[in-house]
Amino acid sequence: MKSKYVILASALLISVATFAQKDQIKSAEKALKSGDAQGALTILKDAENMVINAKDVEQAQYYFVKGNAYLDLANKKVEEGKNLSLAAETYKKLIDVEKASGKVKYSTQAATSIIEIKGKLINAAIADSQATKHADGAKKLYDAYLLDKKDTINLYYAASTAVNAQDFDLALPMYEELKKLNYSGKGTSFTAVNKISGSEDGFNNAKDRDLAVKLGTHEKPKTEAIPSKRGEIYKNLALILVQKGRSEDAKQAIADARKANPEDSSLILTEANLYLESKDYETYKKLVGEALQKDPNNADLVFNLGVISANAKNNADAEKYYLKAIEINPNYANAYLNLAALKLEAEKPIIDEMNKLGTTAKDMKRYDVLKAQRESVFKGVIPYLKKANELDPKNEDVSKTLLGVYKALEMTAEAKALKATM
C-alpha cells in the first residue's frame, strides 16, 4: 500500500512538472509576441532541464519558440552572427525531434527559416568583408555551409576569407575539409547585365539567363568557364602548413593533391615552390621542367615560373620565362610589367656606387660612366612599361613607374602627355 502512494506521488510530481513546463513555453511565446525575445529566452532557460523528458510535441514547441527568439534578436542586429547560428542550430533540433516522432507541425516553417538564416549569414559575411572584418565574415560563411553542406562554395569562401584575415588556425581545418571533399569549384557562370541597376547578375543556368534577356530585363548575356580551384586550395593548405612549421605535412598535402588531380599543372608549381623554400634546388628544377613539359604553351604557367625564378633571385631564368609568356600571349600585361621591374633592379647597385663617389677627376669620370649605364637601364624598360600601360591603362603602378622613367631621362614631352592621361 505504501509503495502505491510513492508511485502516485511520483506521477503527481511528473504531472506538475509537465504543467509547469507547458506554462513556461506559453509564457515565452507570449513574451516573444510582445517583442521581448530576450525575456522569452530567459523563461525557456528555466525549462531547459525538463525538456529532455518532455513529450515530442512539447520539445518541438520549445525549440520552435527558442529558434524564433534567437532569429528575432538577429533581425534586430543583436549579436547578429551568433544569434543567427543559434537559431539555425535550434531549428535543426526541432526538425530532428519531429522526424524521430513522425509528427510534423513546425518543421516546414523551421526549414524555411533555416534558408532565410543562410541568406542572412552570407549577406552579413559580405558586409563584414567590406568592413575588413574578415575573421567574422569567415565564421558566418562557415556557419552558412554547415546549414547546407551541399553548397560547398560557402566553405571555399569561408576558407579564403579566413586567409584574408590572416587567421590560419581558422582557415586550416576549412582547407582540410575542402581537400577531403575533393572540391574543385569548376563549372560555368551565366550572367547578364541588369538594365535598371547596371549590375551583372548571375543565373543558375543558361535557360533562366536567356529568358531574362528575352523578357527585356537584362542584356549582354555572357557565359564563362569557371576554372578548377583545387590548385589554389592545395597551395593555400600547403602554405599554411609551412607557416605552422609543418613542411613535411605540406609536401605530403601537395603529393596527395597531385595524385588526385594529375592534370592540374598549378599543383606542380606549388610543389616546386615548397622545395624552393626548403632550398632543395635540384627537386625544384626537376619540377619546373616537368611543368613545362606538361603544358609548354600555357602563358600563366610560364609567367608563374618567371615569378618563382625572380623570387629565387635567378633573374636570367625569370627574364627567359617572362619573354616566353609574352611570346605565347603578346597581350600579357603583367609579364611586361614584371620584366620592366626585373630590369630596373639593375639601377640600385649603380645608384649605390654613384652615392659613394667623391669629387676627384677620377670619380667624376666614373660618375659619367654610371650615369650613362643608368640611362641605358631606363631606356631599356620603356618599351615594356609603355606596352603594359597600353594594355592596362588603369594600373597606377605602371603609369607612375613610366612617368618616373620619363622624368629621369628628361623626356619632358612624353612625361607631360602621360600625365594628361593619368
pLDDT, residue 174, reads 96
Share of the chain above pLDDT 90, in %: 19
Residue scoring higher pLDDT (219 or 354): 219
Report for 45-59, 157-171, 193-207: range of highest mean pLDDT: 157-171
Residue scoring higher pLDDT (11 or 392): 392
pLDDT at 161 > cutoff 90: yes
CA distance 301 to 287: 12
Q: Which residue has the cell 534586430?
A: 76
Cα–Cα distances in Å, from 345 out to 8, 305, 306, 315, 342? 93, 19, 15, 10, 5
| Cell reading at 342 | 626585373
Sign of the dihedral through C-alpha 101, 102, 105, 106: positive
CA end-to-end span of the chain, whole Å? Answer: 100
Binned at pLDDT 50, 70 and 90, residue 52 comes out as low
Lowest average pLDDT, out of 138-147, 272-281, 314-323, 405-414, goes to 272-281
CA distance 174 to 179: 9
Share of the chain above pLDDT 70, in %: 93
pLDDT at 20 > cutoff 70: no
For the segment 235-244, the average pLDDT, to the nearest whole number, is 85
Which one-letter amino acid corresponds to residue 238? A
* Paired sense of beta strands 187-194 and 218-226, if any: antiparallel
The single-letter DSSP state of residue 106 is: S
Across 280-305, b (16+ Cβ under 10 Å) vs e yields eeeebeebbeebbeeeeebbbbbbbb
pLDDT at 173 > cutoff 90: yes
pLDDT, residue 170, reads 94
pLDDT, residue 378, reads 83
| Cell reading at 12 | 503527481
For the segment 23-49, the average pLDDT, to the nearest whole number, is 80
CA dihedral 232, 235, 240, 243 (to 10 degrees): -140
Query: Coil, strand, or helix at residue 246?
Result: coil
DSSP string, 182-226: T----EEEEEEEETTT--EEEESSHHHHHHHHHHTSEEEEEEEEE
pLDDT at 134 > cutoff 80: yes
pLDDT, residue 297, reads 85
For the segment 68-80, the average pLDDT, to the nearest whole number, is 89
Binned at pLDDT 50, 70 and 90, residue 21 comes out as low
Binned at pLDDT 50, 70 and 90, residue 17 comes out as very low
Average pLDDT, the chain: 84
The CA-CA-CA angle for residues 265, 266, 269, to 5°, reads: 100
pLDDT at 322 > cutoff 90: yes
Write down the pTM of the prediction.
Answer: 0.58
Q: CB under 8 Å, gap of 24 or more: what pairs does 285-290 form? A: none
Query: Coil, strand, or helix at residue 55?
Result: coil
Quick check: 306 and 338 in contact, CB under 8 A? yes
Q: Which residue has the cell 553548397?
A: 151
pLDDT at 276 > cutoff 80: no
Binned at pLDDT 50, 70 and 90, residue 53 comes out as low
| Sheet of strand 218-226: strand arrangement | 200-203, 187-194, 218-226
Q: Which residue has the cell 620565362?
A: 321
- Which residues make Cβ contacts (< 8 Å) with residue 164, sequence separation at least 6? 129, 134, 138
For the segment 282-289, the average pLDDT, to the nearest whole number, is 81
